[in-house]
Amino acid sequence: MKRSAALASLSRDHHQALVVAQRLRRAGEAAAPDARAAFLAYWNDHGRRHFRLEEEIVLPGYSAHGDAHHPLVLRALGDHVEIRGRANCLAGEPAAPPDALRELGEALAAHVRLEERELFPLIESVVPKRELAALAEALERAESAG
């Protein structure tokens, strides 16, 4: 499915997240330190900001036309809280157990699938095209501001 311009940059970020999630899911004892480092680099450079853009721009834009308490919205926000919590724990745990890394990888991959397959199509079906274009501009401004 072709993604609207409003959400295309977030979909590109999702690709990066899936690459990192795959590394986490494959982490054994030997690969755990590198998988942890790769996730934290992704999280600090992209992931944290990505969640904030969805929470501060995309979901409020959706809520002007759709149900802010829709189960998909609530699940995505809950995923954000869970993944943030795991990222914070991981940052303070230099020798993270492989099981914890694999669980984080599963959670991150499942979250991306939820957004790409269910939440983003919902948003695109509810928000008028003109307002999707305004969301794209707001995301672009926010990403340019850093």
- For residue 53 the two structure tokens come to 């853009």
Residue 125 lies in a domain: yes
SS3 60: helix
Residue 100's domain spans which residues? 5-141
* pLDDT single digits (tens) 37-75: 999 999 999 999 999 999 999 999 999 999 999 999 999
**pLDDT exceeds 60 at position 89:** yes
Q: What CATH number did the domain enclosing 94 receive?
A: 1.20.120.520
Domain annotation covers residue 122: yes
Count of the separate structural domains present in the chain:
1
Is 146 within the bounds of a domain? no
Which residue has 């189960």 as its token pair? Answer: 71
Pair 53, 142: CB distance under 8 Å: yes
146 has a pLDDT exceeding 70: no
| Assigned token pair, 15 | 């690709």
- Global confidence as pTM: 0.93
Q: Which position has the higher pLDDT, 127 or 143?
A: 127
Q: pLDDT-derived band of residue 143, with 50, 70 and 90 as boundaries?
A: confident
